[in-house]
Amino acid sequence: MSRRTDHTDTTSLENFLRPIVEQFGCDLEAADIAPAGRRRLLRVLVDRDGGISLDDVAEVTRAISKALDADDIMGDGAYTLEVSSPGVDRPLTLPRHWRRNVSRLVAVTLTAGGKVTGRIKSASEEAAELDVDGKPQTVAYADVAKAKVQIEFNRAAGNDEGPAADGTVEEN
């Protein structure tokens, strides 16, 4: 039993959602539909420079819900809408992902082989400047096979200067 409502085209859905999300100064990072029992789960990831708050996500969710209710892009089948921001473990695949993570530690696997771990100092449309053990290193995005932000438990919230020199963790 195959119906249109079970096979909404992801590209069409993203094209439908992108202008709605952009009204809020956000970028549509991904839209995905997955079966969830008798329903479908529509997951929408949004982000923007400077980060996105829960209030922002709520506003975007209301706008997406209203637009979906007024259109038949999801068809007649029941679905659940979930809007969120990407997690810290999202791979850095676009220049804006690098820009949004300036000052964070990143592990990079290069297409030519080898790995580099450094703190992002700046990011352009073509490359990122990393601080690798105190030395600047430019990494062109075209040379990156995979890049992920590293979680730093000893880095104080809001501290963009890096971890404590001795690596200690203070507990309050």
What are the structural domains of the chain? 10-84 (3.30.300.70), 95-149 (2.30.30.100)
Flag the least confident range among 47-56, 61-70, 132-141: 47-56
Rounding to the nearest 10 degrees, give the CA dihedral for residues 117, 118, 123, 126: -40
Residue 15, pLDDT score: 93
Residue 153, pLDDT score: 82
Please tell me which residue, 98 or 157, carries the higher pLDDT value: 98
Which helix (H) or strand (E) segment holds residue 126: the answer is none
Instruction: Give the C-alpha distances (Å, rounded to integers) separating 55 from 7, 26, 29, 159, 170.
Output: 31, 13, 18, 24, 31
Instruction: Give the C-alpha distances (Å, rounded to integers) separating 41 from 6, 123, 127, 154.
Output: 11, 34, 36, 36
**Residue 154 in this model has a pLDDT that exceeds 80:** no
The structure tokens 């676009």 sit at: 94
Residue 156, pLDDT score: 56
Instruction: Give the C-alpha distances (Å, rounded to integers) separating 17 from 74, 114, 118, 156.
Output: 12, 38, 35, 36
Q: For residues 73 and 40, what is the distance between their CA atoms, to the nearest angstrom?
A: 13
Taking the whole predicted model, whether its pTM rises above 0.85 is answered as no
Which helix (H) or strand (E) segment holds residue 137: the answer is strand 135-140
DSSP 8-state class, residue 56:
H
pLDDT over 90, % of the chain: 62
**Residue 115 in this model has a pLDDT that exceeds 90:** yes
What contacts 77, CB < 8 A, 6 or more positions away? 3, 5, 6, 39, 40
| pLDDT tens string 35-45 | 888 889 999 99
Residue 155, pLDDT score: 63
